[in-house]
Amino acid sequence: MNGEVFKTLCAETAAQGARLVAVSKTKPVADILELYHAGQRVFGENKVQEMADKQQLLPADIEWHFIGHLQTNKVKQLAAFVSLIHSVDSLKLLEEINKQAQKNNRVIDCLLQIFIADEVTKFGFHEDELQDLLHSNAFRELKNIRICGLMGMATNTNDTVKIENEFIALHTLFNKLRETEFKQQPAFCELSMGMSSDYKIALRHGATLIRIGSMLFGQRDSVNLL
Ligand SMILES: *Cc1c(COP(=O)(O)O)cnc(C)c1O
């Protein structure tokens, strides 16, 4: 962990009223603890089993954010403790999160992942699909989930204008939903966008959560839990 980088990131996010999600995927618990002792409480993981294992080993006041593609059959493994799921990309997944939240007697906070990149490898709703979801009866019946905002991943490119335009599009959609579908819902306030390579652009365009991995923890190789 690079202490100076951490301090700078904290200052940059605080200046925009945003929060830092430290993406600790593939990194050992010792690395997470080091950042925890420096004051970080929000950590992001993209594999269910890995997050559940780490949650068992680490302090209880860590907020665990799930940021990866989530399969419905794995939701029950994180339903008891997850703080925020950034990557909800289907009604079927929302229904399963709702069901597992109910079993755990809680409400699970979720972000809807929006497809903004021009890469087929990325997941997320297109805007028209999102409208269908929000207007469906099935969605309205879900009482144990709370939609707290949107998440998106920009195209993996050096073209900063392209990245900027994708973030602007997501911010615009976020603002539009805040004025319409979610007008009466102050909890709809999070915009998760920006990673190590593009977080500065994201912060300029309204990100409230930035997801930073390699810049904090160094490059990733293989999974190394202990
Ligand atoms: C890995 C990951 C990140 C962090 O990426 P870095 O480039 O290491 O900062 C952010 N968001 C998601 C969804 C990820 O999977």
pLDDT in tens, 173-208: 999 999 999 999 999 999 999 999 999 999 999 999
- 213 alpha carbon to ligand 1 midpoint, in Å? 6
CA nearest ligand 1 atom 4, residue: 213
Residue 222 pLDDT: 58
Residue 220 pLDDT: 83
CA nearest ligand 1 atom 6, residue: 213
What residues in the chain have per-residue pLDDT under 50? 226
CB contact set of 209 (below 8 Å; sequence gap of 6+): 18, 19, 20, 21, 65, 86, 151, 190, 191, 192, 193
The structure's pTM equals 0.96
DSSP state of 73: G
Contact 214, 41 (CB under 8 A): no
- 51 alpha carbon to ligand 1 midpoint, in Å? 15
Assigned token pair, 36:
């925890």
CB contact set of 198 (below 8 Å; sequence gap of 6+): 154, 160, 163, 167
- 23 alpha carbon to ligand 1 midpoint, in Å? 6
- 65 alpha carbon to ligand 1 midpoint, in Å? 12
Amino acid letter, residue 119: E
Atom of ligand 1 nearest to the CA of 197: 7
Atom of ligand 1 nearest to the CA of 23: 4
The ligand 1 site (C-beta within 6 Å) comprises: 23, 25, 46, 67-68, 153, 195-197, 211-215
- 197 alpha carbon to ligand 1 midpoint, in Å? 9
Residue 142 pLDDT: 98
Among 67, 88, 116, 163, residue to substitute to test ligand 1 (most atoms within 8 Å of Cβ) = 67
Residue 123 pLDDT: 87
